Amino acid sequence: MGIVFFFLMVIFTRVDRRPYQQMDYYQSTMSHLDSMNWKHGQSTYWKAGWAKVNATPKDPVNLAGYNPRGKYEFVQDSSFLRAILLSNGDINVAFVNFELMIIHPYLEKRIQKRIHDEGLKIDMLYFTATHTHSGMGGYMPGLIGKFAFGGYDEELMSLLEKKSIQVLKTAYSNLDTAKIVFQKAYTKDLVANRLIENDPIDPFVRQLTFINTKGQKATLLSYSAHSTILNRKFMGLSGDYPHYLCQKLEEEYDLAMFMAGTVGSHKPVIKGKEIEDVIHYSEEVFASINKNLIDSDTLENKGSISYYTMPLHLRKAHFRIGKNIRIRPWLFKLLVGDSNAHFDMVLIGNTLLISSSGEISGVFMEKWEKYARDNGLHLLVSCFNGGYIGYITPDQYYDEKLYEVRDMNWYGPYNGAYFDEIIMKIIEKASRN
């Protein structure tokens, strides 16, 4: 009995419910916020260049998402890697996008190192993912990576490194003077709250469009519906609806980049789980972008680019097996590995982009966007920036027996209020930059 008790004490501990404002991690993050020193460059112009490359492996690799499914059996959709490079002659920011479920910290570090070794002059790498649950795995070492994310495949990692360099160099070679337009469109009845049915939703597509002197256009857009239309038994490689939405947009644009927005707790409203339903849904979102435009603004303050990467400090891991019981943080770290928690921020003229390591619920977006607008800013929020810390959801649901708050809220409680406070302060700081 003593051995069993000792074993249980080594493996499990109680949930720490101390208010987050009393914790050292909170003070550390607030200190970073108070001393934010944005890297800023100002000129009289913006230049933009873009490119995409096919990053589909020659041989099948494991799928990522849901549960271990093994290698894909056929290629429904090729997997593309996209980049948009923005420059003002002083600062170069690269938006890099993968048709993957997440950007794992190990993948992010490998690509950062490869870019450094190649000597590419890029000041900020702003990673994004489409969050498809039918995309490639193989870029996540560790036990959890092996169980849920397709394990680790060195050949695939080398391919993604190589393709990242290729797409960035091509985007660099295509740099041309450009103007930038912000747009926002309403998608009626296409997204719902999957956590609490009557809770708020974020039903908007937000876009930045880059138009060069030749009239060529690239757009990056964020949207909050999870890329989870395809059945979990589907064994093809697919980018889910973002792939087909970009394909449709690229009939009008030279390049379209889909960034998963505040997808936590948000689901697509669909009728089925087959490829036909995926295509139909993408067409509905596309139609909404063209028909339900509610805001359009050509960015002023030409040539202004600022950026900042801020480390995010968290309480120790809270992977719960009950309301008040969690596995100990050392075991969680052994299973999951490095979380690389941080925020990436880019301010382009009067438009602020924030990328999070947490899978943020769209419930918060209305408040943040109103505050940004009141401070003279447009706001785009995305997730999957090369770190991953689980879901960020409203705190009132922390003790509900729901997947997103029980299984995937890894560093709670109170992360809803914590993130709300952080992002409100980021917006305030950006408006004064």
Give how far Cα 397 sits from Cα of 113, 291, 358, 404, 415, Å.
Answer: 40, 36, 17, 9, 11
Distance CA 218, CA 181 (A): 11
Please indicate, yes or no, if residue 67 is contained in any of the structural domains: yes
Place of tokens 């950007």: 103
Domain extent, residue 121, equals 15-433
Residue 100 lies in a domain: yes
Does the predicted model carry a pTM greater than 0.85? yes
**Amino acid in the structure at residue 112:** Q
The token duo for 211 is 């138009």
Tell me how far apart the alpha carbons of residues 277 and 231 are, in angstroms, rounded to a whole number.
11
Alpha helices in 90-139 (DSSP H): 105-118
Task: Answer whether residue 1 is part of any domain.
Answer: no
Count of domains observed in the chain: 1
Neighbour tally for 293: CB within 10 Å: 14
Cis status, amide bond into 394, omega within 30 of 0:
no
Count of C-beta atoms within a 10 Å radius of residue 57 = 18
Q: Are the CB atoms for 277 and 73 separated by under 8 Å?
A: no
Residue 4 in any domain: the answer is no
Q: What is the pLDDT along the chain (433 residues), one digit of tens a residue?
A: 667 656 567 788 899 999 999 999 999 999 999 999 999 999 999 999 999 999 999 999 999 988 778 999 999 999 999 999 999 999 999 999 999 999 999 999 999 999 999 999 999 999 999 999 999 999 888 777 777 777 889 999 999 999 999 999 999 999 999 999 999 999 999 999 998 888 999 999 999 999 999 999 999 999 999 999 999 899 999 999 999 999 999 999 999 999 999 999 999 999 999 999 999 999 999 999 999 999 999 998 789 999 999 999 999 988 898 888 888 888 888 888 889 999 999 999 999 999 999 999 999 999 999 999 999 999 999 999 999 999 999 999 999 988 899 889 999 899 999 999 999 999 999 998 7
Q: Is residue 320 part of a domain?
A: yes
CA 135 to chain centre: 15
Please enumerate in sequence order all residues whose Cβ is within 8 A of that of 351, keeping only pairs 6 or more positions apart, or say none. Answer: 180, 182, 208, 299, 377, 378, 379, 380
In a domain, 339, yes or no: yes
Which helix (H) or strand (E) segment is 379 a member of?
A: strand 378-383
In the structure encoding, which two tokens stand for residue 369, read together? 């966007």
Note whether residue 305 is domain-resident: yes
Structure tokens at 384: 């999957």
Under 8 Å between Cβ of 62 and 151: yes
Q: Contact 6/318 with Cβ under 8 angstroms?
A: no
In a domain, 8, yes or no: no
Q: From CA 213, how far away is CA 229, in angstroms rounded?
A: 38
Instruction: Enumerate the β-bridge partners of residue 184.
Output: 206, 295
